[in-house]
A = this chain, B = another copy of it.
Amino acid sequence: MAEGISLEELQLAARNHGMPLEALRYPVTPVGLHYLLTHYDVPDVDAGSWSLRVRGEQEVSLGLDEVRARPWVELAVTMECAGNGRARLDPRPVSQPWLLEAVGTARWAGTPLRPLLEEAGVGEGAVEVLFTGVDRGSEGGEEQAFQRALAVEEALRDEVLLAYEMNGEPLPPQHGYPLRLIVPGWYGMTNVKWLCEIEVLREPFSGYQQLWSYRVRQTEDEEGEALQWMLPRSLLVPPGIPEFMTRERFVPAGEVLVQGRAWSGLAPVASVDVSADGGSSWRAAELEPEEGRWAWRGWSFRWQAEPGACVLCSRAGDEAGNEQPLEPAWNLGGYANNSVQRVPVTVTG
């Protein structure tokens, strides 16, 4: 578990931040409450001199005004860091020590990627599309720009966006100004920020963030499996009031409306169940209407809270039959830990 966090992990936790769970009340997360992970530094991009280079069969270069002159689309998209839940694994993989909060939903707006790729020409032998950000740093002993690739068929999905707006405003610097990639349904690492180059590849990309990082595996010798779609997860707004230091919750006895949100990249959310006894017994929550395929789905549950100590949990399942596990499955990088949240609550008489 999370005891014994190192100075290096704390340095990351002080820079990056999760979404305080009470912000689950907002269908669209206000800027500043959405989770944020920056691998290197937030770069200082001058939009006047910035351009996006697209290298397909032809090479195309666009300034920000040219990107903005293209068709405009807005999508509400829930984004979760692949490392969410890492600090709840035992032994704890050492990296950004997320507990539960590395998630948020924004209205991302920009222009669809597909027509731009088709104009540049994908070509017959294309296998992947590589996305490069302006941000540079050192990781795994290699100096690098942040780069991730998508299989061509993923890159050509209609809902993949080049976004220059978040919640109706230009992207804030920390969320990728002036332009970022949005791949609805996938974990956060795919959504390359500060995007400056898109390149159609005839060989699979073998960069650090693709072949070494962001893979589910047990040992460094395994190739492992690349992280892609978000696994199902539900989180609830911790009810009542908190103790400052422990975050323990205090709730008066009686009926409590427990609310939360659930998502799955793999398939639409089909069910949310709630437990007030730490996962021994479960009852169905009421799902709110969907707000689009790519945004989380609200739910609520009327809980009859009786005096004493208890542990609230919620568990999501999706239409493909995936369900959150009660216990985490360990892996080397600490990825995709979607085991159920446990919220200790003291119900006062």
> Is A245's CB within 8 Å of the partner chain B?
yes
The digit string for A229-252, where 1 denotes a CB below 8 A from any CB of B, is 000000000100111111100100
Docked pose: A137 CA to B248 CA in angstroms: 10
- Partner-binding segment picked from A15-23, A148-156, A190-198, A306-314: A15-23
Docked pose: A4 CA to B3 CA in angstroms: 7
Question: Is there an interface contact between B17 and A99, defined as CB atoms closer than 8 Å?
Answer: no
Residues of B within 8 A of A26 (CB): 173
Residues of B within 8 A of A101 (CB): 14-15
Question: Is there an interface contact between A243 and B138, defined as CB atoms closer than 8 Å?
Answer: yes
From residue 1 to 57 of chain A, which have CB atoms closer than 8 A to chain B?
A: 1-18, 20, 22-23, 25-26, 30-34, 36, 38-42, 44
Question: Is there an interface contact between A138 and B13, defined as CB atoms closer than 8 Å?
Answer: no
Determine how many copies of this chain the complex contains: 2
> Is A94's CB within 8 Å of the partner chain B?
yes
Closest to A35 in B: B14
> Is A285's CB within 8 Å of the partner chain B?
no
Closest-CB distance, A39 to chain B (whole angstroms):
5
Residues of B within 8 A of A245 (CB): 8, 12, 94-95, 139
> Is A298's CB within 8 Å of the partner chain B?
no
Closest to A33 in B: B174
Docked pose: A34 CA to B3 CA in angstroms: 28
Question: Is there an interface contact between A8 and B139, defined as CB atoms closer than 8 Å?
Answer: no
Question: Is there an interface contact between B244 and A138, defined as CB atoms closer than 8 Å?
Answer: yes
Question: Is there an interface contact between A242 and B138, defined as CB atoms closer than 8 Å?
Answer: yes
Question: Is there an interface contact between B31 and A20, defined as CB atoms closer than 8 Å?
Answer: no
> Is A164's CB within 8 Å of the partner chain B?
no
> Is A143's CB within 8 Å of the partner chain B?
yes
Question: Is there an interface contact between A30 and B172, defined as CB atoms closer than 8 Å?
Answer: yes
From residue 269 to 324 of chain A, which have CB atoms closer than 8 A to chain B?
A: none
> Is A109's CB within 8 Å of the partner chain B?
no
Given A3-B6, A33-B173, residue A14 in contact with residue B99 (CB < 8 A): yes
Question: Is there an interface contact between B243 and A137, defined as CB atoms closer than 8 Å?
Answer: yes
- Which of B98, B143, B246 meets A241, CB within 8 Å? B143
> Is A114's CB within 8 Å of the partner chain B?
no
Closest-CB distance, A14 to chain B (whole angstroms):
5
- Which of B5, B17, B20, B31 meets A42, CB within 8 Å? B20
Closest to A44 in B: B25
Closest to A22 in B: B41
Residues of B within 8 A of A39 (CB): 244
> Is A216's CB within 8 Å of the partner chain B?
no
> Is A87's CB within 8 Å of the partner chain B?
yes
Closest-CB distance, A142 to chain B (whole angstroms):
10
> Is A136's CB within 8 Å of the partner chain B?
yes
Given A33-B173, A243-B138, A244-B39, residue A9 in contact with residue B5 (CB < 8 A): yes
Question: Is there an interface contact between A18 and B7, defined as CB atoms closer than 8 Å?
Answer: no
Residues of B within 8 A of A241 (CB): 40-41, 136-138, 143
Docked pose: A38 CA to B245 CA in angstroms: 11
Docked pose: A176 CA to B26 CA in angstroms: 16
> Is A97's CB within 8 Å of the partner chain B?
yes
> What are 8 A-B residue pairs whose CB atoms fall within 8 Å in the complex?
A1-B7, A11-B247, A14-B98, A15-B17, A17-B36, A20-B38, A22-B42, A30-B172
Of all A-B residue pairs in the complex, the 4 with the closest CB atoms, nearest first, are A17-B17, A32-B32, A5-B5, A2-B7
